[in-house]
A and B are shown apart, each in its own frame.
Chain A
Amino acid sequence: MNTEVKIAGVSFKNPVMTASGTFGSGVEYSEFVDLDKLGAVVTKGVANVPWPGNPTPRVAEVYGGMLNAIGLQNPGIDVFMERDIPFLKKYDTKIIVNVCGKTVEDYVEVVERLGEEPAVAMLEINVSCPNVKEGAIAFGQRVDALSSITAQIKKHARQPIIMKLSPNVTDIAEMAKAAEAAGADALSLINTITGMKIDIHRRKFAIANKTGGMSGPAIKPIAVRMVYQAAQAVKIPIIGMGGIATGEDAVEFLLAGASAVSVGAMNFVNPYATVEVLEGIRSYMEKYHVENVTDLIGAVEG
C-alpha cells in the first residue's frame, strides 16, 4: 500500500497534515501523537512581529462545531525561527509554515526569512483569516487583491507557495483560478466560515470579536463542495480541510479532488485525530483494494 503524495514537487509520506492554528507548532500534541507519522505539520500563522491577538472570549461552541476569533496571536518570525523550527526539525515530517501579515511587505518579510531555512518544505499563505481587521482576508476576498499578493509573494518565495483560500466568497472557482494564474503552486481550502453566536441570557456576543470563524464537522459538506469546485477549475494540487474527523471524511476530500487533507478543529476534540485519520485512510484502501492513495484523488464518479 502506497500512501505517498506529491505536491508541487514536494513529497509527503502520507496525505495527512494538520490545519494551521489547530496544532501550534506541534509541541503540545507531540505528547499525544508521534509527529513522525504525519505527512506534514502545518504551523500556526506567523507574522513578521509578535501579534497579541483578540480579546477574550475567543472561542465558543456551536452545534457540531465551534467559532474562534483568536486573531492570529503569534510570537513573530524571530522566536519562531529560533524555537519552533528547531523543534520540528527533530521529526521525520515535512514542515509547512503558515504566513500571515497586515501588508504585502509583512508577508514578504516573513517569506524571505523562511527562505533561509531549507527545512521548511512549503509556505502556506494565509489570505483568509476572518478574525483580523487588517490583511489576511482582505487579500482573499477579491480576485484582483488575491492575484496581486500571490504574484508578489511568489517573486520572493524560495519554497513552493500554497494559497489558503477563504470560503467567504461568492465563487470559489474564480478565486482558485486567480491564485493559479498568479503563480500559486498549490491551494488549501477551506479556512473557517464567518459566523456569529449570541448568548440570549446575557444579550451579549459569545465572542468578543462579535464574529468568529466556524470550524468542525458541521462545515464538512461545504468544504467538500468547495474543494470539488476548485479542483474542477485548476490544475495545481489542493489540500482539503474542513471538519475532517475520520479516515472516511478524509477519503471524501480526496475523491472530491484534494491531493492531501488537514485535520483541524477535531484535534481539540480528539488529540489522536491525525493518526486515526491516517489509519482510517489505510483501512479504506485495504477494504477497496486501492494500491496508491493518489488513485483516489478526484476519483468521484458521475
Chain B
Amino acid sequence: MRQKQTAVVISQREIAPDIYDMWLETALAREAGPGQFLGIYPKDKSTLLPRPISICEINEQIGALRLVYRVAGAGTREFCGYEAGDSVSILGVLGNGFPLEQGMGKKVFLMGGGIGVPPILELAKRLEGDKQIILGYRDQKLFLKDDLKQNGRVYVATEDGTVGTRGNVMDAIRENGLEAEVIFACGPMPMLRAIKAYAAKKGIPAYISLEEHMACGVGACLGCVVKTKEIDGHSHVHNARICTEGPVFEAAEVEI
C-alpha cells in the first residue's frame, strides 16, 4: 500500500557533477522493486509537490533505498544538502516497475542513459540471464559504472567519445555487434525513441521507463500521461498515467 512516511538519511555524497547518491532508511524498502520510484517532498513550503525520483538500489535487510539523482531545480537542490540523520518526507512506493519475469533466463540489453542509469542497477542485480549493460553518458564523468560491472558485461558510450564508443547507446550496440532477445531501458526521450524503433525492427520487446512532469504521483491528477496505442484502462482515451500504469511500458504500446 502506498503511503507518506518519514525516512532518515543514512548517507549522501556527490558522485559526479550535480549527481548525488543518497541512501534512505525506510520501511518502504521491503515493498520496493526495480523501476519503481518515490515522491520526495522538499521541506521549503514554496516548493510543494513531491519530486519523482527512481529507486537505484534496494537493501531489504537493513530497510534502505538508494536514490541517485541529478540536481535539476529548487527541490533537488534542497535534497542535495541533506546529511546523515536528517529526516525526509517520502511518498511511495510508486509506479509499476520493470517486469523482471520478461527477462529471466534471456539474453538482455539493460540500457541506461544519463540520469536514466540509476534504476538499471537494481534491475541488473535481480535479473538472472545473459546481461549486456549499455550505459550512455555525456563525458568521462561516469557514475554507477563500477556498481553495474558486478552484475553483467558493461559497454559505455559517451557523447564526446572520451570513454567507450563515441556517440550514444545505439552506437555502442552497433560497434560491439550486440544482440538481445529483450530490452529494458531508462533514459532521455530521444534514446527511448531510438530503442523503440530498434526493437520494432528486430521484433523484440522493449520495456522502457518514461518520465513526465507529475503532481500527485498516485494517479489522481492526470498530469503525467503518455499516449497509448490501445485505450487506457482509466480514462478510456489512449492516455495512460505514467505514475500509475507506468513508468515502465512496453515500447510498442506507447506513442512517444
- Taking Cβ atoms with an 8 Å cutoff, the residues of A that contact B are 21-24, 27-29, 31-32, 44, 50-53, 56-61, 63-66, 68, 70, 73-76, 79, 216-217, 265-272
Instruction: Report chain B residues within 8 Å CB of A24.
Output: 219-220
Also in contact, A216 and B237, with CB within 8 A (given A32-B4, A270-B4): no
A and B contact pairs by CB, cutoff 8 A, 22 listed: A21-B221, A27-B219, A28-B218, A28-B220, A50-B237, A52-B235, A56-B212, A57-B212, A57-B223, A58-B213, A58-B222, A58-B223, A59-B213, A64-B48, A68-B223, A70-B221, A75-B237, A79-B236, A268-B220, A269-B41, A269-B49, A271-B91
Q: What distance in Å separates the Cβ of B58 from its nearest Cβ neighbour in chain A?
A: 21
Instruction: Report chain B residues within 8 Å CB of A79.
Output: 236
Find out whether the CB atom of B46 lies under 8 angstroms from the CB atom of A63: yes
Give A69's nearest chain B residue, CB to CB: B223
Q: What distance in Å separates the Cβ of A46 from its nearest Cβ neighbour in chain B?
A: 11
Tell me which of B213, B221, B225, B226 contacts A268 (CB under 8 A).
B221
Instruction: Report chain B residues within 8 Å CB of A50.
Output: 235-237
Instruction: Report chain B residues within 8 Å CB of A269.
Output: 41, 48-50
Give Cα distance in the complex from A276 to B235, angstroms. Answer: 29
Find out whether the CB atom of B237 lies under 8 angstroms from the CB atom of A52: yes
**B2 adjacent to chain A (CB < 8 Å):** yes
Q: Number of B interface residues, CB 8 Å?
A: 34
Find out whether the CB atom of A56 lies under 8 angstroms from the CB atom of B216: no
Instruction: Report chain A residues within 8 Å CB of B215.
Output: 59, 66, 68, 265, 268
Find out whether the CB atom of B234 lies under 8 angstroms from the CB atom of A75: yes
Give B41's nearest chain A residue, CB to CB: A269
Find out whether the CB atom of A52 lies under 8 angstroms from the CB atom of B238: yes
Find out whether the CB atom of B236 lies under 8 angstroms from the CB atom of A59: no
**B150 adjacent to chain A (CB < 8 Å):** no
**B239 adjacent to chain A (CB < 8 Å):** yes
Give Cα distance in the complex from A28 to B221, angstroms. Answer: 10
Instruction: Report chain B residues within 8 Å CB of A74.
Output: 235
Q: What distance in Å separates the Cβ of B16 from its nearest Cβ neighbour in chain A?
A: 20
- Taking Cβ atoms with an 8 Å cutoff, the residues of B that contact A are 1-4, 41, 45-50, 91, 212-226, 234-239, 244
Q: What distance in Å separates the Cβ of A290 from its nearest Cβ neighbour in chain B?
A: 28
Instruction: Report chain A residues within 8 Å CB of B236.
Output: 50, 75-76, 79
Give Cα distance in the complex from A21 to B215, angstroms. Answer: 12
Give B234's nearest chain A residue, CB to CB: A75
Instruction: Report chain B residues within 8 Å CB of A268.
Output: 48-50, 215-217, 220-221
Find out whether the CB atom of B48 lies under 8 angstroms from the CB atom of A61: yes
Also in contact, A64 and B218, with CB within 8 A (given A58-B223, A73-B235, A73-B239): no
Find out whether the CB atom of B220 lies under 8 angstroms from the CB atom of A53: no
Give Cα distance in the complex from A142 to B31, angstroms. Answer: 52
Query: Which among B214, B226, B234 has the greatest number of chain A C-beta atoms within 10 A?
Result: B234
Instruction: Report chain A residues within 8 Å CB of B216.
Output: 22, 28, 267-268, 271
Give Cα distance in the complex from A61 to B214, angstroms. Answer: 9
Also in contact, A53 and B225, with CB within 8 A (given A28-B219, A31-B1, A59-B215): yes
Q: What distance in Å separates the Cβ of A38 from its nearest Cβ neighbour in chain B?
A: 14
Q: What distance in Å separates the Cβ of B254 from its nearest Cβ neighbour in chain A?
A: 12
Find out whether the CB atom of B213 lies under 8 angstroms from the CB atom of A60: yes
Give A59's nearest chain B residue, CB to CB: B223
Q: What distance in Å separates the Cβ of A199 from its nearest Cβ neighbour in chain B?
A: 10
Give Cα distance in the complex from A31 to B2, angstroms. Answer: 7
Find out whether the CB atom of B219 lies under 8 angstroms from the CB atom of A216: no
Find out whether the CB atom of B239 lies under 8 angstroms from the CB atom of A68: no
Find out whether the CB atom of B222 lies under 8 angstroms from the CB atom of A70: yes
- Give the 7 A-B residue pairs with the shortest CB-CB distance, closest first: A59-B223, A268-B216, A52-B237, A28-B220, A57-B213, A24-B220, A75-B236
Tell me which of B2, B45, B212 contacts A32 (CB under 8 A).
B2
Give Cα distance in the complex from A29 to B212, angstroms. Answer: 21
Give Cα distance in the complex from A56 to B234, angstroms. Answer: 17
Q: What distance in Å separates the Cβ of A79 from its nearest Cβ neighbour in chain B?
A: 6
Find out whether the CB atom of B221 lies under 8 angstroms from the CB atom of A22: yes
Query: Which among B1, B219, B222, B238 has the greatest number of chain A C-beta atoms within 10 A?
Result: B222
Instruction: Report chain B residues within 8 Å CB of A22.
Output: 216, 220-221
Give Cα distance in the complex from A278 to B213, angstroms. Answer: 30
Q: What distance in Å separates the Cβ of A185 from its nearest Cβ neighbour in chain B?
A: 27
Give Cα distance in the complex from A269 to B43, angstroms. Answer: 11
Q: What distance in Å separates the Cβ of B221 from its nearest Cβ neighbour in chain A?
A: 6
Give B89's nearest chain A residue, CB to CB: A270
Find out whether the CB atom of B220 lies under 8 angstroms from the CB atom of A56: no
Instruction: Report chain B residues within 8 Å CB of A270.
Output: 4
Instruction: Report chain A residues within 8 Å CB of B223.
Output: 56-59, 68, 70
Query: Which among B220, B237, B239 has the greatest number of chain A C-beta atoms within 10 A?
Result: B220
Q: What distance in Å separates the Cβ of B82 from its nearest Cβ neighbour in chain A?
A: 19
Give Cα distance in the complex from A31 to B46, angstroms. Answer: 27
Find out whether the CB atom of B220 lies under 8 angstroms from the CB atom of A32: no
